[in-house]
Amino acid sequence: MRFDMLHPADQIVMIMERVYQYGMTTTSGGNLSIKDENGDIWISPAGVDKGSLRREDVVCVKKDGSVVGHHRPSSEFPFHKTIYERRPDLGAILHAHPPALVAFSIVRKIPLTTLIPNVQLVCGPVAMAPYAVPGSQELGENIAAVFEKGINTVLLENHGIVVGAADLFRAFMAFETLDFCARLEISARRIGIPRALTQQQIDVSYRKQAVPMEEFEPLGITSEERSARRDMCTLIHRAYDQGLFSSTQGTFSQRLEQNDFIITPYGKDRKYLEPEDLVRIQNGRKEKGKTPSRSVLLHQRIYELHPHINSIIIAHPPSVMVFAVTEARFNSRTIPESYILLRTIPTVSFGSTFMDQEKVARSFSKKTPIVMVENDCIIVTGSTLLNAFDRLEVAEYSAKALIAASELGDVVAINDAQVAELEAAFHLD
C-alpha cells in the first residue's frame, strides 16, 4: 500500500482507527493532523467519536485561517499550528493518551529507550514539555519550545504524548514504538530490574544493513506458493492485531522446497502486507526488485541445518520480551500445553542474530524449537507456519501468566517426573 498516495483525510482516518482500535486513546481523546504541500492543515475534528471517524469528518484549516468542513477543528489545533510554524520540516503531528505513556507523564519520567534496539532510531530523543491547560496558547508554546530544539517525540506533563514527523505514518511508527517501550518497562519492573543496552550495543545494531544478495527473476509461481503467501499474510495480520508484531518489526518465513523460502520484506507496514509484498529466496538469491528482512541469512541457515523446520518467526511479543530485558527466567513448565509446545528456551546474547548467526542457527533442535535473544527478540520455529504461530501465541500467554503469578506467590513448576510423563504421553523427542 502506498500510504503517501492517500488523501490527507483518508490518512487521518486510517491512523486514527489504528490508534483507537489498539487502546491508545479514547472516544474523545487525541488528535491527528497533516500539513499538505499548500500549507493547509488537515486535522481530526472536535467532538466526534474517534472510534467511528469518517473522511468527511476531517477538517481543513486553510493558510488564511478559514475552516472547511462539517465540524470544528480539534480544540488542540493551536499547538498543532504553533509546532508547524516553528518546525516547517514537519508534515504530520500525532497526539494521544495511551495508558503506559500517560503513566510516565504523571510521574514525570521518560521511558527507557535503551531496553531494545531501534527505539532511539525510530523515536529520536524524547523530552518532556511543562503542563498547561489543554487547548491553550501556553500549552502550544510549551510544546513548540521543545520541538524547536529538534526533538520530535514529546511527553506532556500530566497529559499524554505529541509526535511530529515528515508524514503521519512515520509519526505513528514513533508513537507505537515508544508506547511499546513504555509498556515493556512497566511490565519488566513487576518481575525484576530492566537491563538496558549500552550505547555501543545500540550503535552496533544500527550498523545492520540490508543483506546484499544476487537477484533472480521468477519464471512463475506455483499454487503451493500462492497458498503459502496468502496464509502467511493472514497470520502476519493476526500477529499485528494481537500486538505480537509492530508496524515494521516482526518477521515470518516459510520453506517452499529444500532451502527455498518466502519471507517478509524489510521496512513495510505489517498490518497491510499483501502476498505480492513477500520476498521469495531461491538458491541464496532474492526475488528481483524486493528487499527481504535483514534476518534473511539467519532464516536461510536455520533451514539448511534443520530439515524438520519449515517455518520461522522472529517477533517481539510484549510479555515474552519482559524476560528478554530482565534476569527473570522464562519457565515453560507452567501448564502441560506450555511445556509440550515450548520445551526448553535457551537465551543467547544480544547481537548474536547478526554477529554469530551460525551459533544461533545451531541452537535449535526438536527439543529446542524457540530461542530468546537478550534485549532483542524471540525466534520461534515450527513444522508448519501454523505450528510456529501457535508456539508464538503460547509463549506470549505463558509469559503473561508468569508475570501475573509473580504478584500472587511463588510459581510451582511441573516437576521432572511430571515432565517425563508428558514426554511419554505425547511422544516428545
Provide the annotated active-site residues. 76
8 A C-beta contact, residue 279 and residue 265: yes
Residue 108 is inside which H or E element, if any? none
8 A C-beta contact, residue 150 and residue 144: no
8 A C-beta contact, residue 16 and residue 44: yes
End-to-end CA distance of the chain: 44
> From CA 183, how far away is CA 168, in angstroms rounded?
22
428: Cα separation from own chain's centroid: 33
What is the C-alpha R_g of the chain?
Answer: 23
Sign of CA dihedral 129, 27, 247, 350: positive
256: Cα separation from own chain's centroid: 27
> From CA 64, how far away is CA 41, in angstroms rounded?
11
> From CA 18, how far away is CA 49, in angstroms rounded?
14
- Within the chain, how many helices (H) and strands (E) appear? 15, 17
Sheet holding 41-43, edge to edge: 67-68, 59-61, 41-43, 31-35, 92-96, 160-165, 153-156, 126-129
8 A C-beta contact, residue 332 and residue 398: yes
8 A C-beta contact, residue 50 and residue 90: no
